[in-house]
Amino acid sequence: MDIAVVGAGSLGSLLGGLLAREHDVTLVGRDPHMRRVAAEGLRVAGVEQFRVTPAARTDVPDSADLAVVAVKSHDTAAVADQLAGCELGACLSVQNGMGNEATLAAALDCPVLAGTCTYGARLDEPGTVAFTGRGEVVLGPPAGGRSETAERVGAAFGGAGVETTVAADMPRRLWAKLAVNAAINAATALARVENGALADGPGAALAADAARETARVAREQGVDLADERAVELTRQVVRDTAANRSSMLQDVEAGRATEIDAINGYVVAAADEPVPVNETLTRLVRTRERAD
Binding site for ligand PAF (CB under 6 A): 96, 180-181, 184-185, 195, 237, 241, 244, 246-247
Judged by beta carbon, residue 44 or residue 238, the one nearer ligand PAF is 238
Of 177, 216, 235, 288, the active-site residue reads 177
28, exposed or middle or buried, with CB in 10 Å at 0-12, 13-18, 19+?
Answer: buried
H or E element, residue 124: strand 120-125
Judged by beta carbon, residue 54 or residue 135, the one nearer ligand PAF is 135
The distance of closest approach from Cβ of residue 49 to ligand PAF in the complex, given in angstroms and rounded to an integer, is 23
The distance of closest approach from Cβ of residue 18 to ligand PAF in the complex, given in angstroms and rounded to an integer, is 18
Judged by beta carbon, residue 94 or residue 167, the one nearer ligand PAF is 94
The distance of closest approach from Cβ of residue 228 to ligand PAF in the complex, given in angstroms and rounded to an integer, is 19
Cis link prior to 111 (omega < 30° from 0)?
no
The distance of closest approach from Cβ of residue 11 to ligand PAF in the complex, given in angstroms and rounded to an integer, is 9
Judged by beta carbon, residue 14 or residue 156, the one nearer ligand PAF is 14
42 vs 48: CA distance, rounded Å? 13
CB 93 within 8 A of CB 116: no
CB 129 within 8 A of CB 17: yes
Backbone angles phi, psi at 191, to 5 degrees: -85, -10
What angle in degrees, to the nearest 10, is found between the helix axes of 170-191 and 201-220? Answer: 150
Q: Is 72 a catalytic residue?
A: no
Residues noted as catalytic: 177
